[in-house]
A and B are shown apart, each in its own frame.
Chain A
């Protein structure tokens, strides 16, 4: 057994890092698929969540509230709120995947320790895990959109653009979530997560247009979820504008910073 698995030639690392990292990230995704192949029911059960959400606004309080004024005219309240719920659900899924799941693998299963003793590095781990969270997120977003369509809450084909918007939301929150998780000392610290996501859920123009927040609308701007809601809502209502690029930028910056911090921290935590 003296043959090598990987050829002996060593090229300058700078040239190899990117393709190598992506290939490594692919391996992490492969592992997740292997694990979830057995527990696909958990994934399927997640599909029912949007249905409950949407039914509650359709037949619940949505029926009590009238139309909402948007720049393009009035829309049905359910049509107005559904995209915000879709965006929030993308956030919640990503946060869950990147906090609880990652913490478990980091501290208890010691999975990353194993992986880092192979040629894979911390960035491959971070990118791979986030990619997997996104793949699940896309499935849920498709289900969400399907439910919305079935319940008559989709009014234009532009709504398909809500899918990439949700991917971006997932990316931003999974990266940030993973970065935050690397600072957690124990399960107790997870109580802070709802303390961050719940106010965001309420303060992100979810249930009212941003104009109705009046003088407090700048607070809404601070919520990353707001930028996600704005994108998904614009897609679903078919309201394109250059201003959307601002929202994309906010989420993209959050992704880049989150990923950087997460991979650096995984390195410092495990490569001691």
Chain B
């Protein structure tokens, strides 16, 4: 029985359709990702899964329960990191966690123990009695993550959890999330960061304008939708209009972006040699492996991070 099962789920805000029929299943213990550009509908979907936003049409089941009927029961087994922090400004860090645990009916003493432990976990123990307001953006994010673990969730929803974190904090968080996964927690994550999705997710869907445009494992998606390597070329400050045509025979596919040209080829170095043979002298060139970014570009014609 999947932890999350969505069948033809739609979400409308008035006339506007933010989610236009998505189907997917997340299995127990899986780390599942939602990748997509701004406005793709990731947060709208997360809020529906979080039972704080009614499904407009279609069927959504979480723990095999219906959010409309058993919202409270579902929420009690789930942890949520919303996209924008909504910490309790009138309480200290420790109190934020303790009070949140209390909303789940966890005994006070247990709340305090867990809160201390989680502050340690997100490296904020020394700020336990400080107010929330003076914290930096990244610290608030970490506190929100700690808060989402207060009820020891079976399912953790993370809406861009690492936005605003410095690289070190990000890696620490990845490691912690990995540990949760090992303990059997099911995780659903949205992100703009390809490396994050590639690193963490067992399986992911790529969303664009309210639809799922691809689904698979990070590796599988790359194999399916891109070449093994990519040659990135930085040309003159203004890219000549006919460049795509001239480069076309070299790779399987050419993408002209505002600041660079991507040539998709099985062998990047060989492609570069061919570029030189054509008499094109790039200012800089780089051969790299294909990433989810390329998959995304391929599927939507737009880049993921602008």
A residues contacting B by CB (< 8 A) are: 1-6, 8, 10, 13, 20, 23-24, 27, 30-31, 34-35, 109-111, 113-121, 270-272
Contacts and interface: CB of A to CB of B under 8 A. Distances in A.
Given A6-B73, A10-B73, A270-B52, A119 B104 contact: yes
Given A5-B105, A10-B65, A31-B99, A271 B54 contact: yes
A5 B105 CA distance: 8
Q: Which of A24, A35, A114, A272 counts the most chain B CB atoms within 10 A?
A: A114
Interface stretch (B180-188, B237-245, B246-254): B180-188
Contacts of B90: 35, 109
Interface stretch (B80-88, B195-203, B272-280, B283-291): B80-88
A43 B278 CA distance: 81
B136 interface: no
Contacts of B184: 2
B77 A6 contact: yes
A35 B92 CA distance: 10
Given A1-B149, A2-B185, A113-B82, 16 more contacts: A1-B180, A2-B184, A5-B76, A5-B106, A6-B73, A31-B99, A34-B91, A109-B89, A113-B52, A114-B86, A116-B52, A117-B52, A117-B80, A118-B76, A119-B103, A272-B53
Contact of B52 (A4, A6, A13, A271): A271
Contact of A118 (B69, B75, B87, B91): B75
A3 B153 CA distance: 7
Residue of B90, B102, B151 contacting most chain A CB atoms (<10 Å): B90
B257 interface: no
11 contacts: A1-B152, A6-B76, A13-B69, A31-B88, A31-B91, A34-B95, A113-B86, A114-B87, A118-B104, A119-B76, A119-B104
A271 to B, nearest CB: 6
A270 B13 CA distance: 13
A3 B70 CA distance: 19
Given A6-B73, A119-B73, A1 B185 contact: yes
A70 to B, nearest CB: 46
Nearest to B28: A2
A2 B69 CA distance: 24
A62 to B, nearest CB: 41
Contact-residue bracket for chain B? 35 or more
A5 B151 contact: yes
Contacts of B89: 109
A2 B77 contact: no
A121 B76 CA distance: 12
Contacts of A31: 88, 91, 99, 102
A40 B71 CA distance: 36
Nearest to A11: B73
User: Interface centre among B76, B91, B106, by most A CB within 10 Å?
Assistant: B76
Interface in B131-187: 149, 151-154, 180, 183-185
A271 B77 CA distance: 19
Contacts, number: 98
B100 interface: yes
Sort A-B residue pairs by CB-CB distance and give the 8 closest, nearest first.
A118-B103, A6-B76, A5-B151, A119-B72, A119-B76, A110-B86, A2-B184, A1-B152
Contacts of A23: 105
Contacts of A109: 88-90
A228 to B, nearest CB: 31
Contacts of B33: none
Contact of A115 (B50, B103, B152, B183): B103
B interface secondary structure, majority? loop
Contacts of B105: 5-6, 23, 27, 119
A35 B149 CA distance: 23
A4 B105 CA distance: 12
Nearest to B77: A4
Contacts of B52: 113, 116-117, 270-271
A8 B53 contact: no
Contacts of B100: 114, 118
A115 B185 CA distance: 22
B77 A117 contact: no
A115 B89 CA distance: 13
A20 B152 CA distance: 20
Given A10-B65, A10-B73, A13-B69, A120 B95 contact: no
A120 B88 CA distance: 16
Given A2-B154, A23-B105, A117 B69 contact: no
A121 B72 contact: yes
Contacts of B153: 1
Contacts of B102: 27, 30-31
A20 B72 contact: yes
Nearest to B156: A1
Contacts of A110: 86
A120 B100 CA distance: 11
Which of A4, A34, A110, A119: most chain B Cβ within 10 A? A119
